[in-house]
Structure formats: C-alpha cells, structure tokens
Amino acid sequence: MNNVKDKVVVITGASSGIGEETVSLLSENGANLVLGARRLNRLEEIQKNIGNNICIQKTDVTNANEVNALIETAYNEFGRVDVLINNAGLMPQSFLEKNKQDEWNQMIDVNIKGVLYGIGAVLPYMREQKSGHIINLASVAGHVVFPGSAVYSGTKYAVRAITEGLRQEEAAVGSNIRTTILSPGAIDTELTDHISDKEMKKGIDEVYKDAIKPDAIARAINYAINEPEESSVNEFIIRPSSQNL
Ligand code: NDP
C-alpha cells in the first residue's frame, strides 16, 4: 500500500533537520513536494539533490501573505494540496528572569502564528476538495514544562490545542480533513544552535547527548500520510529510548 505516491505535500521549515529528512523520505515514496523556508540557497540544494516533483519557495511563516503564496504555488503547480506539514519552528529557550523578549516574540510568531497562518491558508482548498491532512510539529515540551522551557512549552501546548480544535471543527462538518500532532523528544538537528542563554544551552546539550536522528520523525509523518483516508492518526510522541523527561 502506498498512499503517499502522487500526494501533493507542502512543508514549511524544509531547509534543514526534520523538514529536510521528511522531504527526502516522502520524495522516495513518490510524493509531489512544495518546500518553504527562509534560506533559499538550502532549498535549492535540496531540490538539486532530490530532483523530480519538487518546487521551492522562499517563505517566512511569520508573514501570512508569504504563507498564502506558498499554498497558492502548490495549487498552481500541482492542482491540489493533500497535506500541509507545519514544521517550521524555533527553540531559543531561556529562563524567564533573563527577559529575552525578542526571543519570546520570535517563538510566538513562528511556532504559533506560523502554524495558524498555514491552517488559514490551506483550509479553503481542503474544504473545497473535501479531503486533506494537516500535520503540526509540537514537542515533548508541549506535554511537560521544565525550568527554561516556559515560553517554548507555551507555544507547543498552543500547537496541540489548536490542532485538537481543528480536528473537532473539521470532524463536526464532515470535511474529511485529517489532523496529526507530532511531538518529538531530542532530535539531532540545528534546533538547539539558536539558544543564546549559555546556562540553558549547557543543560540542553546534556539532554541532547542522546538525541536521535530526524529520520525517526520522517517515518512517523510518512506513516500518518500513508494510512487510508478513513483513518486519522491524531497524535505521536517520539523520544529517544533513553530520554527520561
Ligand atoms: P531545525 O532548526 O533544523 O529546522 C527548523 C526549520 O524551521 C528550518 O528549516 C528553518 O528554516 C525553519 N524556520 C525557522 N524560522 C522560520 C520562519 N520564520 N519561516 C520559515 N521557516 C522558518 O530544527 P528541527 O528540524 O528540529 O525543527 C523542526 C520542528 O520540530 C520545529 O517546529 C521544532 O520545534 C520541532 N521539534 C524539534 C525537536 C528537536 O529536538 N529537534 C524536538 C521537538 C520539536 P529557515 O531558517 O531556512 O527559515
């Protein structure tokens, strides 16, 4: 059974880590892919390496017009949008006492508003098609809070609440739109590179010593997409086996 083949999949934050790995696996399985991120040079590199059935577009998810344009590109290029993966995210964790307001705003803008803009942009197309699938990247930090994670956790709890609300609203009108919340634990990507709070970074580096590769997350995404239409895989939590948090 390959229900991934020929699906049109839009993915934000596709330029590295989980996004890049997911692009690679879905492409192997025959999906048509539309990639968004700010670093166009990285997207061009991925397009060159993977090749067929990929289109790329510079997209900052904090800008609703750019997110709308990304979805329009998918529609114009492939005639439909089957899956949106709201993957773009940032994790500059810090202790509240440090008052890093710019980083708080960044996390709220990318992790929450970016996801909302994605949903807002794609829903009219999926409602019209009477089918679709929205996959949102949350986090283990969207299930538990620890010192230094308050704002990041807040954004990821929000992603879970928004996705569950979306699930209920779409089920109520029978739109046949599936939703998936995916909560990774420590995954070896560029995510921790942007932590500017040195005290925080030390603790996080310790947790990330056992980080697993992003292909674990890509496989889960592939599984959720591959399930038959009537089955909506609503939630995953995937940690390294040794992660106790
Ligand atoms: P990376 O840092 O490798 O990837 C993050 C991606 O988000 C990049 O491709 C980046 O692209 C993109 N991005 C950041 N800001 C924006 C923006 N304003 N507009 C568009 N794209 C943006 O980390 P991961 O692959 O690990 O992260 C992917 C998702 O997984 C995130 O939502 C993260 O919170 C979540 N996650 C990851 C975990 C981990 O341990 N790695 C654990 C739990 C959750 P560019 O800079 O080119 O715009």
What's the pLDDT band for 52 if we cut at 50, 70, 90?
confident
Quote the ligand 1 centre to 210 CA distance (angstroms): 19
Atom of ligand 1 nearest to the CA of 156: 34
For the question of residue 75 being annotated catalytic, the response is no
Mean pLDDT of the chain: 97
Pocket probe for ligand 1: among 60, 68, 87, the residue whose CB has the most ligand atoms within 8 Å is 87
Nearest CA to ligand 1 atom 39: 187
- In angstroms, the Cα distances linking 195 to 78, 201, 203 are 38, 6, 11
Distance, in Å, from the CA atom of 211 to the CA atom of 56, rounded to the nearest integer, reads 29
Atom of ligand 1 nearest to the CA of 217: 30
Q: Is the pLDDT of residue 51 over 90?
A: no
| Nearest-10 crossing angle of helices 64-78, 114-129 | 30
**Any alpha helices (H) in the chain, and if so which ranges?**
17-28, 40-50, 64-78, 101-107, 114-129, 150-173, 198-207, 215-226
pTM score of the predicted model? 0.99
Quote the ligand 1 centre to 174 CA distance (angstroms): 32
Quote the ligand 1 centre to 87 CA distance (angstroms): 6
Residues 184-205: tens digit of each pLDDT? 999 999 999 999 999 999 999 9
The per-residue pLDDT for 174 is 97
